[in-house]
């Protein structure tokens, strides 16, 4: 490939800014945001260190890191939240607005019930 062809290819390649999380040997764990925050492993030679950029194609081929929490089957039991709110005297939107700490505790308790299901997810 001639220098001119390389220049044209570089101009067409889209680069995405990344944050290098860690590198080891021939791979690097990078983080980027394409509308969703993501992490993945890429070959270290694809990381443009001075500019902290990686080609879009390399990011698409990255080995994903972490669990995709959005793929869980956890549901929050709104009946439980309804009853907890009412037992604490929270019946209206005004009640909700005036007692945000209690509301947060109730929601955290309901979410906590689903936390054990999260820990059982396979990566």
Secondary structure in 3-state letters for 24-78? ECCEEEEEEECCCEEEEEEEHHHCECCCCEEEHHHHHCCEECCCCHHHCCCCCCH
| Residue 43 three-state SS | strand
Helix segments in 1-123, DSSP class H: 3-12, 56-60, 78-87, 93-98, 100-119
**Domain residue limits, the chain:** 3-66, 71-119
Using a cut of 0.75, tell me whether the model's pTM lies above it. Answer: no
Task: Kindly give the confidence (pLDDT) of every residue in the chain, 123 residues in length, as a single tens digit, with 9 standing for 90 and above.
Answer: 666 665 555 568 899 999 999 999 999 999 999 999 999 999 999 998 888 999 999 999 999 999 887 777 777 788 889 999 999 999 999 999 999 999 998 888 887 766 666 676 665
Nearest C-alpha neighbor of 39 from the set 17, 16, 63: 63
Q: For position 18, what pLDDT does the model report?
A: 96
φ, ψ for residue 28, nearest 5 deg: -135, 140
């Amino acid at each position: 490939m001639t220098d001119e062809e390389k220049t044209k290819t570089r101009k067409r390649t889209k680069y995405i800014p990344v944050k290098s999380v860690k590198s080891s040997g021939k791979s690097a764990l990078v983080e980027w945001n394409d509308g969703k925050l993501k992490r993945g492993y890429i070959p270290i030679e694809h990381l443009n260190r001075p500019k902290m950029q990686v080609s879009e194609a390399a990011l698409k081929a990255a080995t994903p890191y972490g669990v995709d929490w959005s793929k869980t089957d956890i549901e929050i039991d709104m009946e439980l939240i309804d009853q907890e709110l009412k037992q604490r005297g929270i019946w209206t939107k005004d009640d909700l607005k005036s007692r945000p700490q209690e509301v947060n505790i109730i929601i955290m308790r309901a979410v906590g019930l689903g936390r054990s299901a999260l820990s059982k997810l396979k990566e």
